[in-house]
Amino acid sequence: MATKEDFYAKVTPRRQRQTRPGTVKHGSCLDVLLSMGFPKSRALKALISTGGRNVQAACDWLFSHVDDPFLDELLPREYVLYLRPSGPLLHQLSHFWQQSRTLCGKNKAHNIFPHVTLCQFFMCADAKVEALCEALQTVVGQWRGRFPSPLPLELYTSSNFIGLFIDDSMAEVLKSFATDFAAEAAAKADVLVEPHKKQLHVTLAYHFPANHLTSLEKLAKGVDISLGCDWLAVLYSRDIRFANHETLRVMYPYTPQNEDELELVPGDFVFMSSVEQSGASEGWVYGTSMTTGLSGQLPENYVSRADECDTWVLHGTHSFLSCTSPTNSGGAVGGPFLDGQQESRLLDDHGPVDPPSLGVICHPMQMMRPTSQPLLPKRTLFVCRHGERMDVVFGKHWITQCFDAKGRYVRSNLNMPCNVLGRSGGYREYDKDCPITVFGASQARLVGEALFDSHTVIDFVYCSPSLRCVQTAHNILRGLQQDGKIKLRVEPGLFEWTKWVSGTSLPAWIPPTELAAANFSVDTTYRPHIPVSKLTVLESYETYMSRSFQVTREILAECNALGNTVLIVAHASSLEACTRQMQGLNPQNSKDFVQVVRKIPYLGFCACEEMGETGVWQLVDPPILPLTHGPNHSFNWRETLLQD
């Protein structure tokens, strides 16, 4: 029998080849693909890679992989058997995943969803997948009524590891189940499965900075391990070629300019190996597309880090509590499959959970991360006004009071910042783009701290290019303990109604690159939906409302499936302009709009939730209390206390 090393040795770059697929016909998926002239190996590979959905999906896969140099290589996939929690315990663990990311950033445990490993990764040829899945289904059926329930867990922590360990006696029972599966898999599918020999556990965190231990341990102690759970036996596979690669998610489209470059399509995944980076240019990486199988160089700022399990394929999910048989027990290639919602219900509920088979070959798992946020299933939009601004507190002439003849800044009040940023066009640029006060920064941190205390998870932050908005967003993230972890996306389309700008030109905003150089956590690779060049002075009210609606919709679409919660930090008018039409309402007339805006204080905060999948949103109560503050006039003790 060939070893894993033998197969890895075959994974080397080679000349690309091309074939010409036929046209789609109806009938059994495998039979139709064979009748079209596809070799059986290609047909099986396409069906397994697309979840056995239908001929069209398989053909699309074959079309996209027409130049894949490994299309005809008989490389088996790697498989693994896990126990996955469901129901209330899954919700608790998913919440831990979210909060630990928020507090401490990503650690190694986040690469895979919560699970107990029952066996090591093993190989199975495409032609044996159906038999392998039947083996799992058979063994789960034999173990119904024998599987230990509830499964006792105990929290364990060390300097670099936190996990929930299964009692030794119960762990031996689970290892017996894994041994039975290994025997059945060998008999039916002729595969070698090695049951997990180490202590069985659910990993919560490992390979994290030492200074995060206390916070992570506190979060872990908050997981209620006594909650009910139906442990599910799940079988996953991954592409053997990329088992030791880093997984990247494509964020922006890219058209190759040279022959050695890779085309990028948003939503695709790229596999990157550190050993292949030696020939890549600065700012570029070398990777392989999951969609096409092609390799090449790509701009590093067009991709973001993804979780390893984002590209895995689910081949079977079985409950030990349910005796319901699969919907389609025939196990034919191309049988029914589970869509994302069905799969979510499958993992979270306690009802029948045996899925349809091909051997239940299911579609690639694009969103199997716990960040699907079962505790916060609805997408949420927060809109917040900036903090207290300098020119309102100290008047329009604050600049002449604070800058000397040489343009040096001199602080003259405790509510003025100790330092201000240098401006490429000189300090007079502060006339139209003023900073926030010290109190303004404190207000923003208070809001961030309140969001942190309410366990609110922010996935993306967008802000107006106005300095007061950038500074406010920065301080909110500081209060949320996310500064440096979430990068601000500066979006000119979020600027206020340009009719309110004095003069005949827009402000000269500080570019994102200069903000980043000044230690603001700004995403310098972000491409605005509405660039500065598209903004016009003295725009009409209708244009402003249309612009705000457009940019809000595009921001939410950009973040869809990547995170549930978006925070926009902009202007008082933004709370109305960015949410009203999202609710399906027409804009108010301009006079009523102005009256609403006048009532919105600094750090005014609103929340909007999506109603199901209708695309319509509604305003809801924010997760934090309002922040009330009043005017505080300048105090001169000589004038007030030394009067006769």
Tell me which residues are annotated as active site. Answer: 385-386, 571
CA–CA separation, 449 and 479 (whole Å): 4
- Which tokens is 190 given? 């002729």
CA–CA separation, 448 and 475 (whole Å): 7
- Which tokens is 611 given? 């109603």
Calculate the CA 170 to chain-centre distance.
35
Q: Is 81 helix (H, G, I), strand (E, B) or coil?
A: strand
Classify residue 389 by its DSSP letter.
B
**Which residues have C-beta within 8 Å of that of residue 591, sequence separation ≥ 6?**
none
Contact call for residues 51 and 361 (beta carbons, < 8 A): yes
The phi and psi torsions of 268 (rounded to 5 degrees) equal -75, 165
Neighbours of 83 (CB within 10 A): 23
The phi and psi torsions of 520 (rounded to 5 degrees) equal -85, 135
Give me the residues paired with residue 620 across strands.
607
Nearest to 576, CA basis, from 597, 605, 590, 561: 597
Q: Which helix (H) or strand (E) holds 342?
A: helix 340-348
What's the N-to-C CA distance of the chain in angstroms?
Answer: 104
CA–CA separation, 188 and 130 (whole Å): 10
Q: Is 317 helix (H, G, I), strand (E, B) or coil?
A: strand
Sign of the dihedral through C-alpha 44, 50, 53, 57:
negative
CA–CA separation, 65 and 399 (whole Å): 62
Contact call for residues 125 and 351 (beta carbons, < 8 A): no
